[in-house]
Amino acid sequence: MSTQEQLEDNMNTFKDFEPLSDEEKEAIEKVKEVMFRIELVGCTACRYCVEGCPMKIAIPDVISAVNTKRKFPGDIRPNFFYGGLVERDGNGKASQCIGCGQCEGVCPQHLPIISIMKEATEKFESGK
């Protein structure tokens, strides 16, 4: 907030505050259950894997696109993100992964990066 008007607007947000009803809480729990069923890759984007990649693949960014595609399979935005990552930014494609394992050797989360690159290839490069 940088003005009195913004402060007052924010304060008014809670002017007529009412706690969630039991029905609203139940709806939130149902959504949580659905969201937690989706298996996401636990990449923290530390980027340790990127520096030694001989194919110059931006691995954490590819994983981010994979996670988004897993959450929202029908959404085309992850495809655009991935396309820009390799075309505009000049990074290697997931399909160019040679399976050397350098990335997996330095990953603090011990992620199966090689298999994730195969999944990314299937999701973003197969033309499906």
Instruction: Give me the sign of the Cα torsion angle 39, 59, 44, 127.
Output: negative
Cα separation, 93 vs 97, in Å, equals: 7
Condensed to tens digits (0 to 9), the pLDDT of residues 108-118 reads 999 999 999 99
Q: Is the pLDDT of residue 59 over 80?
A: yes
Q: How far apart are CA 64 and CA 70, in angstroms?
A: 10
CB 93 within 8 A of CB 126: no
Average the pLDDT over each of 15-19, 42-46, 88-92 and give the range with the smallest value: 88-92
- pLDDT given for residue 98 in this prediction: 97
Output the pTM of the full model: 0.75
Residue type, 69: K
Give residue 90's pLDDT band: very low, low, confident or very high (50, 70, 90): confident
Binning pLDDT at 50, 70 and 90, where does residue 51 land?
Answer: very high
pLDDT band at 36 (very low <50, low <70, confident <90, very high): confident
pLDDT score at 96: 96
**What length does the chain have?**
128
Q: Where are the domains of the chain?
A: 48-125
